[in-house]
Structure formats: C-alpha cells, structure tokens
Amino acid sequence: MWHPTGPSPVMDRAPLRQPPALLSAPSRKPPAVSKLVAVDLFCGAGGLSYAFHRAGFHIAAAVERNADAAASYQKSFVDTYSPETKLLNHDVSSPQVTKALALRAKGATIDVVIGGPPCQDFSPATERTKREGHRANLVLEYFRILRLLDPQAFLFENVPGMLTAMRGKYWKFVVNEAQKLGYYICHDILRAERFGVPQRRNRLFVVGTKQSLGPLAFPIGTETPRTVMETIGHLCPLKAGEVGESDPMHRARSHRPKTVEYLATIPEGGAWRDAARVLKCHKDHNGHYDVYGRIKGDSIAPTITGGCTNPSKGRFIHPKQHRGLTVREAALLQTFPPDWIFCGGIESQSLQVGNAVPVKLGEALALTLKALLDPGPCCLSKPHELNPHTREMMPGLLQ
Ligand SMILES: C[S@@+](CC[C@H](N)C(=O)[O-])C[C@H]1O[C@@H](n2cnc3c(N)ncnc32)[C@H](O)[C@@H]1O
C-alpha cells in the first residue's frame, strides 16, 4: 500500500464545451487514506491508468515508449489527476525501466501490474507472415517485469485473437509463466457495451491473483450504453477540415471536395457499396464491408480503432455530417473524459484513442480487483462465474 506523504498540487484546466456527463465528475484530490498501488506497463494515452485511478488505485509508475502517447499521458493524467505518478518514457525492455521499477518495488509494495502489450500482432488483420514480430515478444517483457515486481495481482489486456494466434504459442506462454510465478489465472472476453461503453468492442482480459487471494470473478456488465448521437451529438457541427473553436481535439480531417460529395451519398448504416458511385479501388472488390461506412447515430459505434478518424479505414463517417470522426468524438466513444488531451498529429492521436481500454470498462474491472485485494464497503457490478457471452463469441475455446 502507498501512503501519500503530503498535499499534492491540484491542477485544473479551463472548461471546454459542456457535454452530457458520461462519467461523473472525478475528484482531483488524492484521498488521504492508503491506496492500493499499481504500475501500468504500455500505458498509452492513459485509458487504463485513469480507470484504475477512478477506482481508487494509486498509479506509482507507468511505462510508454512513444513520445506522443507519453506526452498525452503526462498532460492528461499525471498533471491533472495523479502528480505523483512517475512516467517512464522509455522502451519497456530498457535498463532505465528495469532500474526505476526495481527501485520503486524496493521503496513500497506494488499491489498490481496492469497493461496491455500492443495487440496488432494478434489481430486477424495482421498478415500471418508479419505476426511473429517484435511486438508479440513484448508479452515476454510483461512477464519479466511481473517477476521483478512480484505484485499480488496482475491484469493483462489484449485482443481475443491472442488466444489462438501462432497456434496459441503466446497464450500458452502467459498461462505457464503466470502459474510458475504462483498466480491463479482467470480470463474472459468482455463486451465493452455491457459496461456502458457506446461501442462494439470485445477484449480479452487475463487476471492473475496470488493463490492466497483466490481467483477473480469477472464483473458482468448490465449497463445500457448511450447511443452514438447521445454521446457526440452535443459537439459543434464541423465540415471536413474544420476545428471546433473551444476544443483542438474536435478537428475533422480534410477531404477533397469530390470525397465530400461521395461521402454525402452514403446513408447512415451504409458503406461503399451503398454510395452513388463505386470508387475505382472498390471495383471487383469483395469484403471490407465497413470501409467508407457511415455510423448509425441511434445505435452504438463500431470498434474504435487506430484508424477511427479516417473513413477509408472503416465505418468512421459521422452519422449526420460528411466527414470522418474527430479525435474528440472517437475519444468520447471510448468513454475518455471530455477534456482529455492527445498529443501529436491526427494519425498519432487517433492511434492513441483506438489503442485505449475504454475507461468505463477498465473501471469496472479495477473495482472488482480492488474488492478482492482490499475487501471493504464498495459498490460493484454483480460478479459471476464466467461471462456467458464469451462462450457465444469463442465457442470451443473456453471450457
Ligand atoms: C494497447 S496500447 C496501450 C493503451 C493503454 N492501456 C490505454 O488504455 O490507453 C499499447 C502501448 O504500448 C506502447 N509500446 C509499444 N511498444 C513498447 C515498448 N517496447 N515499450 C514501451 N511501450 C511500448 C505503444 O506505444 C502503445 O501506446
């Protein structure tokens, strides 16, 4: 447990346009009581760290190699909510990270390690030949740090494809390593929409708990999400290439006038096949049904990926306006707070948003883990043995 040593600066930003409250206003002051301590590996722009912070954890350290993502994390999470978090802007395998984390572990107990190594190597979209790459080996790094910090529990997030990628090689590694280190492990594929996230997004979560704690029962989400328009409809309308006056994250990519005309012919819920004309590159093409897709405003969004602001990368056209989503719209669909700042250019910002664990989903998991580590009065969604939808989605995989 971590005991705060003194008052921490509380930093506030000028308020942006007032959106409907997706998340209740969080307290920016660290409570004076001792907290469970977490370390976030591969912290990105901070979706998972913020979720754990909201659940009452102190994030002692976080590791992120990418300079833009690290800058977002520093500005949006550390400076605003958690000034005592040490951000290590290095490669997780670097000696600086090993040294800094070893020092932290000496100074105070680390209760949980959280994080999701990059998942592109496990996505079906990645060609088989390119998969056995460097990124998949970051799973090994995750377990190297786990051995070093020896926490009571860990939470590992990835795409469901990790279970089967490379004939289950990495999944078997995860199970074997966790068992060797003395953890019970439980895994489930959770649907973000069941936790109030206005988005279809399935993610694999693996939770390891030391034998004395017993296994974790995953939360079952029962919340009904808002629709897309309920989530982003309050933002000011924009044309392609425009930026919202009070929010630099509410910026629409530029499209050529011909592209705007083309987008205008695609109906809500439709995609390139429904457009008034077929683009040259789509002729004689089968598949990629979502490319140049327009989101349905009265439904939930498709999975927000790293291409979320680019209509050529998926179903990312605004429901009513003839342009791709803005970074702010995509971030709200990921349940980030309405004033989260993402640094870098639009490609980099979009990637940070698409990579994140939706805050509401992360928070539900964090609360469940907290109840196991530090049982006390706390408000939880109903626990259950195994999410029944996992079986539907991955038949035969989970016994
Ligand atoms: C899936 S994203 C993490 C998202 C984060 N959990 C969130 O909720 O916002 C993975 C992150 O790992 C970072 N990363 C990739 N390779 C890394 C490495 N070798 N060392 C440290 N970070 C790395 C990427 O830049 C990316 O931001």
376 CA from centroid of ligand 1 (Å): 32
49 CA from centroid of ligand 1 (Å): 12
CATH number at residue 42: 3.40.50.150
The yes-or-no answer on residue 119 being catalytic is: yes
Do 116 and 169 reside in the same domain of the chain? yes
- Percentage above 70 pLDDT, the chain: 77
Distances (CA, A) of 11 to 52, 74, 76, 86, 389: 19, 12, 10, 17, 41
Which of 64, 205, 351, 357 maximizes ligand 1 atoms within 8 Å of its Cβ, making it the mutation to test the pocket? 64
* Atom 12, ligand 1: residue with shortest CA distance: 42
Query: Which residues, in sequence order, are bridge partners of residue 209?
Result: 153, 184
Do 197 and 267 reside in the same domain of the chain? no
6 CA from centroid of ligand 1 (Å): 31
The predicted pLDDT at position 211 comes to 86
Distance of CA 55 to the CA centre of its chain: 16
Of ligand 1's atoms, which has the minimum distance to the CA of residue 138?
19
Do 81 and 119 reside in the same domain of the chain? yes
**Is residue 279 situated within a structural domain?**
yes
The predicted pLDDT at position 229 comes to 98
Do 207 and 256 reside in the same domain of the chain? no
- In this prediction, the residues of the chain whose per-residue pLDDT falls under 50 are 1-22, 24-26, 30-31, 127, 131-132, 378-399
Structural domain boundaries, residue 96:
36-223+357-391
The predicted pLDDT at position 286 comes to 60
The predicted pLDDT at position 339 comes to 97
CATH number at residue 250: 3.90.120.10
**Is residue 73 situated within a structural domain?**
yes
Q: d(Cα 238, Cα 321) in Å, to the nearest integer?
A: 7
Number of separate domains in the chain? 2
Distances (CA, A) of 176 to 154, 171, 372: 15, 9, 23
CB of 359 closer than 8 Å to CB of 46: no
67 CA from centroid of ligand 1 (Å): 11
Do 252 and 371 reside in the same domain of the chain? no
Q: pTM score, two decimals?
A: 0.85
Q: d(Cα 17, Cα 22) in Å, to the nearest integer?
A: 14
CB of 238 closer than 8 Å to CB of 326: yes
The predicted pLDDT at position 399 comes to 30
Do 193 and 92 reside in the same domain of the chain? yes
**Is residue 302 situated within a structural domain?**
yes
Kindly report, residue by residue over 6-40, the tens digit of the pLDDT: 333 333 333 333 444 445 444 555 445 679 999 99
Which of 50, 52, 54, 65 maximizes ligand 1 atoms within 8 Å of its Cβ, making it the mutation to test the pocket? 65
Which of 39, 41, 43 maximizes ligand 1 atoms within 8 Å of its Cβ, making it the mutation to test the pocket? 43
Q: d(Cα 294, Cα 316) in Å, to the nearest integer?
A: 6
The predicted pLDDT at position 391 comes to 42
Do 234 and 176 reside in the same domain of the chain? no
**Is residue 312 situated within a structural domain?**
yes
Do 339 and 215 reside in the same domain of the chain? no
Do 298 and 365 reside in the same domain of the chain? no
Q: d(Cα 315, Cα 305) in Å, to the nearest integer?
A: 10
Residues with CB under 6 A from ligand 1: 42-48, 63-66, 69, 91-92, 115-116, 118-119, 138, 355-357
357 CA from centroid of ligand 1 (Å): 11
The predicted pLDDT at position 60 comes to 96
* Atom 11, ligand 1: residue with shortest CA distance: 42
* Atom 26, ligand 1: residue with shortest CA distance: 44
Burial of 216 (0-12, 13-18, 19+ CB in 10 A): buried
Q: d(Cα 396, Cα 388) in Å, to the nearest integer?
A: 13
Do 191 and 106 reside in the same domain of the chain? yes
Do 150 and 298 reside in the same domain of the chain? no
The predicted pLDDT at position 283 comes to 60
**Is residue 241 situated within a structural domain?**
yes
Report phi then psi at 228, rounded to 5. -60, -50
Cβ neighbors of 10 (< 8 A, separation 6 or more) are: 28, 29
**Is residue 128 situated within a structural domain?**
yes
Do 362 and 310 reside in the same domain of the chain? no
Which residue reads 């590992």 in tokens?
156
* Atom 27, ligand 1: residue with shortest CA distance: 44
* Atom 3, ligand 1: residue with shortest CA distance: 44
**Is residue 22 situated within a structural domain?**
no
**Is residue 112 situated within a structural domain?**
yes
| Torsion sign (Cα): 281, 285, 290, 295 | positive
Q: d(Cα 87, Cα 203) in Å, to the nearest integer?
A: 25
Question: Torsion over CA of 181, 184, 189 and 190, rounded to 10 degrees?
Answer: -110
71 CA from centroid of ligand 1 (Å): 13
Q: d(Cα 301, Cα 194) in Å, to the nearest integer?
A: 13
